[in-house]
Amino acid sequence: MKTSISFLLILVFTACSTLQQQEITKESLVKIGQGNLHGVGDEKLRAQQKMIDSAEEWQKMKRKLDAVNPTTKNFKNLPVNFQHEMVLVLISDLKSSGGHSIIIEKIEETQKQIEIVYREKSPDGIATTVMTQPFFVAKTPKTNKKVRFIKLN
């Protein structure tokens, strides 16, 4: 009898934890902010792709984004519950003109990892001559899987 009850409890807890693990898809991304930094590199942010999984790290990133201009004041004021969510941050390298952006093309999840496929869009036609640094920030369901970023040309 004890064995049966133990087995049922394990089954219930396993099922509950499986239900809580939400799949990460392009549709599950909730955009927080997207645009360009205009500090001519004074933010000292290198090109990067990362997942942020703590409030402290998120605050640190927002301070860096705001180092020259109040970039995050234009972000959607969405709460991030780091017990269940992470923040995706993509930052491009410096560009010598305006009109650049970062676009998420697709997200594929396998048993072992999540692949985030993105591209950097260049301006069409004539663009302003100004130093910019494109960024994309979104929140997504939390995962323990390895996240791999794939940049398309």
CB 134 within 8 A of CB 120: yes
**Rounded to whole angstroms, how far apart are CA atoms 110 and 36?**
32
Domains of the chain by residue range: 24-152
d(CA 111, CA 95): 36
Query: In 3D, which of 137, 20, 133 has the Cα closest to residue 89?
Result: 137
Spatial contact of 47 and 92, defined as CB atoms under 8 Å apart: yes
* Digitized pLDDT (tens) for each residue of the chain, 153 residues in all: 555 454 444 444 444 444 356 778 888 899 999 999 998 889 999 999 999 999 999 999 999 999 999 999 999 988 999 999 999 999 999 999 999 999 999 999 999 999 999 999 998 888 888 999 999 999 999 999 999 999 998
Distance CA 118, CA 148 (A): 11
Q: How many Å apart are CA 87 and CA 147, to the nearest integer?
A: 12
- pLDDT score, position 116: 97
DSSP characters for 21-58?
Answer: -PPP-TTT-EEEEEEEE-STTTT-PPSEEEEE-SHHHH
pLDDT for position 21: 60
